[in-house]
Structure 1
Amino acid sequence: MDKPQQQLDKRQVRIAFNRAADSYDGVAVLQREVGERLLERLELIRLEPQWALDLGAGTGQITRGLLKRYRGSRVVALDLAEAMLTHTRRSAGWWRRPRLVCADAEQLPLADASVDLLVSNLTLQWCNSLEQTFAEFRRVLRPGGALFFTTFGPDTLRELRESWAEVDGHSHTNRFIDLHDIGDALVRAGLAEPVMDMEMLTLTYRELPTLVREIKELGAHNVTRGRARSLTGRARWRAFEQAYESRRRDGVLPLSYEVIYGHAWAPTGVRQQRSGDEVRVPLDMLKGR
């Protein structure tokens, strides 16, 4: 279980991505590349989903890919930030609209066994409980439904994290979960035949302010509860700059991303029924706009 200071402040996550919605596409080079690689992996399976869910839709890259690939399917775009969904709606094209749902991945307002395909690009790292998230994935997937996802592993932003660690004891980056722990969580959630793999990607920058600005424009800056609440003073910033500059190689500053890919299946068989006072909305009730 994460330490309290490592827990994400979901309110701040929503605020950060709402603010980043207009700038996101201009700096999301790595995110788009990972999204394309994720969409390519759908070619590994034969599936014609009645309902496909893009979970953590952002500005709609995966949503557009699903609309194009599965022309006979109904596609749902779900995101925590309503401003991101506004961009998804605008970018989807006039000829075919996705259904839009503003919600948390850890508490999906969707009915049991209602989705045939769930695709999630770089969203799991914004969830506090992987167990809860995968349990929700398992719940909304129909028997035989497929899950494809990407997320970031522990070596992501390694240079940023290590540089700040030389300056103070605050949390300056979000936490990322190990590939093996993600695979174990899939199994515990009852998802079948999980397959996991990983690759390292590195972005390079000439100047540190550009690196930091792009992280903020992505909405990906630190939103852990243990983050520093005061402004970074000049002395601490200079110490951070010096620490990061020591990592400069061949004239550029590296920023590493450990990209984890995974897919699994909802097993065929009897599904457990949930109880409680939560409202679950059948996807057939969602309007296209």
Structure 2
Amino acid sequence: MQITMDKQAVKASFSKAAVHYDQFADLQREIGHHLIQLTDHSETQPVNQWGSVLDLGCGTGYFSALLNDFFGKNTQLTCFDLSPKMLQQASLRQLQNTQFVEGDIDILPFTVNQFDLVFSNLVLQWSEHLQQSLKQIKQTMNPDAELYFSTLLDGSLFELQQAWKAVDALPHINDFLTKKQVTQALKGAGFTRFTVTTETRVKKFNDIVSVMKALKGIGANHVHHGNKARMSGRQLLQQLEQGYAPYKDARGHYNLSYQVCYVVAFQDNKNV
């Protein structure tokens, strides 16, 4: 499945959010911590012997720093991101043995067999063509390399999507792939040995303004189709509040659901 995106607009959105991203990225950290724990069960080599690691879509470098500490001083870390502002924030962490590369996850600039491990937390949902992106990732992996990534699935932000229907009939939430589509993309990219697990995470907010600020704060408020509501200000918020009413909990919190997918994939073709 191919999704048409304005990558310059995506870059601008995340660059604008870079300085204050970490203030709003609690969900991203929760998911990323679970993902990084999965690397502790590596099948191919001890975690302190990875020679070259790629943090694909590193953002502000929060997990780059953990990877840098986790895998040891002998590991060469590459921080890769679409946004130069995000890379600037990551560079402030003063990581050892680290290079910073700006680029698009759909057009990777790396060489064949370059990495022992590829880590990517909540980034690949921004790929225009997941199968092609995964195929490129696979080419950068050495014969014993492993890929760990998380992404969002169809059904994410469901409550907000429904609330917008009280405003207009335009799409205000980006499309996400299904678990089946992610699995098909992995197979199409040439991966024959992988695991896919899913979970639902629900964030709670005190009001509709907090919901919108949380998405804007991490730069995830860009909508590929660029549709905007015809109204603004208090009128818009009142409409959204009305649409959100069925999705508030007993305490009046605004629920926002995320369907999360975790993938561990191996470069080799051995049987599981």
- Relative to the length of structure 1, the TM-score reads 0.86
Q: Name the counterpart of 1:204.
A: 204
Q: Aligned AA for 1:175? A: D
Please point out which of 87, 90, 93 is paired with 1:91: 93
Q: Deviations over 1:105-150 (max 9, x none)?
A: 1101111121111010000111111111111111111112110000
Query: In 2, distance between residues paired with 1:229 and 1:247?
Result: 21
- TM-score, length of structure 2 as denominator length: 0.91
1:44 alignment partner in structure 2: 41
Which residue of 1 is the match for residue 82 of structure 2?
80
Aligned partner of 2:191 in structure 1 is 191
CA distance in 1, matches of 2:201, 2:29: 13
Give how far 1:192 is off.
Answer: 2.8
Is the deviation greater in 212-221 or in 241-250? 241-250
- Give me the whole-angstrom Cα distance separating, in 2, the residues matched to 1:235 and 1:26: 28
Pairs aligned (count): 264
Distance apart, 1:210 and its partner CA: 1.1
| Offset from partner CA, 1:70-89 (integer Å, 9 cap, x none) | 11210000000011111111
Q: Is the 8 A contact 2:170 2:227 kept in 1?
A: yes
- How far residue 238 of structure 1 moved from its aligned partner, in angstroms, is 2.6
Change (3 A) 1:234 1:105: same
Counterpart CA distance in 2 for 1:231 and 1:112 is: 50
Work out the CA distance in 2 between the residues paired with 1:179 and 1:268: 22
Match of 1:114 in 2: 114
Amino acid in structure 2 at the alignment position of 1:62: F
Distance, in Å, in 2 between the alignment partners of 1:242 and 1:166 is: 7
* Letter of the 2:61 counterpart: G
Structure 1 unaligned blocks of 5 or more? 270-289
Between the aligned partners of 1:143 and 1:74, the Cα distance in structure 2 is 18
1:222, CA displacement in angstroms?
Answer: 2.9
Mean CA deviation greater in 182-191 or 46-55: 46-55
Structure 2 gap segments, 5+ residues each: none
Moved more, 66-75 or 16-25: 66-75
**1:1-289 pair list within 5 angstroms:** 1-2=1-2, 7-45=4-42, 46-47=44-45, 48-71=49-72, 72-93=74-95, 96-228=96-228, 232=232, 235-250=235-250, 251-267=252-268
Once residues 93 and 202 of structure 2 are traced to their aligned partners in structure 1, the CA distance between those partners, rounded to angstroms, is 28
Q: Secondary structure at the match of 1:246?
A: helix
Q: Is the 8 A contact 1:63 1:98 kept in 2?
A: no
AA aligned opposite 2:63: I
Instruction: Note if contact 1:191-1:266 (Cα within 8 Å) is conserved in structure 2.
Output: yes
CA contact (8 A) 2:13 2:222 kept: no
Deviation at 1:237, TM superposition (A): 4.0
CA-to-aligned-CA distance 1:136-171 (integer Å, 9 cap, x gap): 111111112110000011121010011112332212
3-state DSSP of counterpart to 1:194:
strand
- Give % identity: 29
Distance 2:198 2:134 in 1: 19
Q: Aligned-pair distance for 1:226? A: 4.7
